């Protein structure tokens, strides 16, 4: 397998397909690089070099006990970009992965980047606070962590209903996709899965987003039951001058699958735009 070893000895797995301008994908919780297979295959066929990695603690990467915070995630991403000597790269982050994009830019700048994409992302801040009353209450995230500790497999299986919107009457998600999602999620460490709930819910990316001095595309579903549009996507787009906001009507959180054709074309159009 293709891996890099980070400064603290953690192995980060990545897949690297195609040739051309690099597009780097950061996955959502509690998944891994495989969630991007439709986008990666599509863009590689269109002449791009596509790279997706498993966050520490997830997928085929190492499962250290510590390090499940966005400063560490951003530094892991920076080490991958530097190891592959990527330039003019486009960062694409989904859900939790949107925080990787934001904190990378906040800590490492944009010198190796050309564009950024936030898809259903937790940016600029997810949790409800005094100065972010639109956010999700802390009790929701405490409940997620309690569910993981009690019966991780069943909790994650049940979570698919809001992730994919299968609790909506017009849902067309196959049993195979739900099985694949659960299989991917269960590859992760329990510790990493729990700790990342704290990381993606409580990390404030508002200062990081002030450093987005590059073309930025924000994509979000208006029926996202996991990361609500009004509390995240709309505010993220407003925080980045000149950014584009594309709202997918009726789309759930997992639009990388449910709306994959639309997402693929929107990513391609954004990559090709001058």
CATH of the domain at 192: 3.40.50.1820
What local confidence, expressed as pLDDT, does residue 138 receive? 98
Q: 224, 243, 259, 266: which is the annotated catalytic residue?
A: 224
Q: 95, 189, 201, 243: which is the annotated catalytic residue?
A: 95
Tally of structural domains, the chain: 1
Judge whether 224 counts as a catalytic residue.
yes
Task: State the DSSP H helix or E strand holding residue 152, giving kind and residue range, or none if neither.
Answer: helix 138-163
Domain that holds residue 50: 3-272
CA distance 13 to 54: 6
Mean pLDDT per 10-residue segment, the chain (274 residues): 96 98 98 98 98 98 98 98 98 98 98 98 98 97 98 98 96 96 98 98 98 98 98 98 97 98 98 95
What local confidence, expressed as pLDDT, does residue 274 receive? 86
Provide CB contacts within 8 A for 83, sequence distance 6+: 4
Judge whether 243 counts as a catalytic residue.
no
Instruction: Provide the sign of the torsion angle of the four alpha carbons 217, 194, 74, 20, taken in this order.
Output: negative
Contact between residue 81 and residue 73 where contact means Cβ atoms under 8 Å apart = no
Judge whether 259 counts as a catalytic residue.
no
Provide CB contacts within 8 A for 154, sequence distance 6+: none
User: Distances from the Cα of 203 to the Cαs of 28, 181, 198, 208, 268, in angstroms?
Assistant: 15, 25, 8, 11, 30
CA distance 240 to 212: 6
What local confidence, expressed as pLDDT, does residue 1 receive? 78
Q: 27, 220, 253, 259: which is the annotated catalytic residue?
A: 253
């Amino acid at each position: 397998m293709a891996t890099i070893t980070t400064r603290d000895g953690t192995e980060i797995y990545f897949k690297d397909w195609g040739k051309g301008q690099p597009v780097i994908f950061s996955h959502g919780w509690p998944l891994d690089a495989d969630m991007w297979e439709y986008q990666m295959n599509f863009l590689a066929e269109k002449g791009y070099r596509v790279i997706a990695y498993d966050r520490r603690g997830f997928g085929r990467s190492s499962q250290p006990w510590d390090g499940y915070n966005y400063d560490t995630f951003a530094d892991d991403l920076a080490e991958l970009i530097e190891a592959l000597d990527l330039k003019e790269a486009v960062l694409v982050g989904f859900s939790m992965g949107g925080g990787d994009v934001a904190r990378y830019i906040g800590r490492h700048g944009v010198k190796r980047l050309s564009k950024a994409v936030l898809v259903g992302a937790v940016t600029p801040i997810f949790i409800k606070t005094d100065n972010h009353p639109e956010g999700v209450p802390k009790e929701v995230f405490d409940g997620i962590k309690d569910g993981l500790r009690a019966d991780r497999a069943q909790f994650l299986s049940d979570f698919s209903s809001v992730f994919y919107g299968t609790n909506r009457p017009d849902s067309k998600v196959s049993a195979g996709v739900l099985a694949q999602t659960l299989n991917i999620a269960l590859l992760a460490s329990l510790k990493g899965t729990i700790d990342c709930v704290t990381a993606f819910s409580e990390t404030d990316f508002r200062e990081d987003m002030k450093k987005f001095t590059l073309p930025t595309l924000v994509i979000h579903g208006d029926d996202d039951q996991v990361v609500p549009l009004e509390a995240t996507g709309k505010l993220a787009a407003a925080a980045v001058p000149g950014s584009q906001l594309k709202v997918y009507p009726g789309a759930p959180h997992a639009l990388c699958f449910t709306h994959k054709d639309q997402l693929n074309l929107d990513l391609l159009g954004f990559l090709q735009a001058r």
